[in-house]
Amino acid sequence: MKSKFLVPGLVTIAMTFGSLVSDARADQQSIVRETGGLTYLSGGVGEESRQQLSAHASEFNLKLVFAMASGTYLSTVRVAITDAKGKAVLEATSDGPWFLAKLPMGNYRVVASYAGKAIERSVAVDSTALRTVDFRWDHE
């Protein structure tokens, strides 16, 4: 008699634990990080992660997108942002193809490096609008 209740109970526990692990992974992907007083968020590997980042996009004013020229998204892209005076303001490695940052209004130089090749962009951000900048690499 006990086995009739034991198996369904174990299945319920396993499903609950699996759900909690999945929720924890999703939360880890949407963690807002801070460095030098600036906040950023990265990820976008998978539809769920992109939806989470989209939900937070209004909190940021710069969005960087990393991909190959073919359209294949990239992760582990090194990001270095300097202000108009050349002072480093943010350095990080992106966890996925989307990188969101909240910067003070101004002009910046963004260098994104992947597989030994760096791409540089000049970017002007204001305090309210989300500015999106694409970085595309020709070869992996």
Which is the CATH superfamily of the domain at 31-137?
Immunoglobulins (2.60.40.10)
Helix then strand count (H, E) for the chain reads 2, 9
For 111: left if phi > 0, alpha if psi spans -120 to 50, otherwise beta; the answer is beta
**pTM (two decimals):** 0.76
Instruction: Provide the 8-state DSSP code for 62.
Output: E
Query: In 3-state terms, what secondary structure has residue 16?
Result: helix
- Residues 111, 119: contact at Cβ < 8 Å? yes
> How far apart, in whole angstroms, are the C-alpha atoms of residue 30 and residue 89?
21
pLDDT string in tens for the chain (140-residue length): 555 554 454 444 433 334 333 343 344 445 788 888 899 999 988 888 888 888 889 999 999 999 999 999 999 999 999 999 999 999 999 999 999 999 999 999 999 999 999 999 999 999 889 999 999 999 75
- Burial (CB count within 10 angstroms: exposed 0-12, middle 13-18, buried 19+), residue 19: exposed
How many residues does this entry show for the chain?
140
3-state secondary structure of 93: strand
Q: Would you list the domain boundaries of the chain?
A: 1-30, 31-137
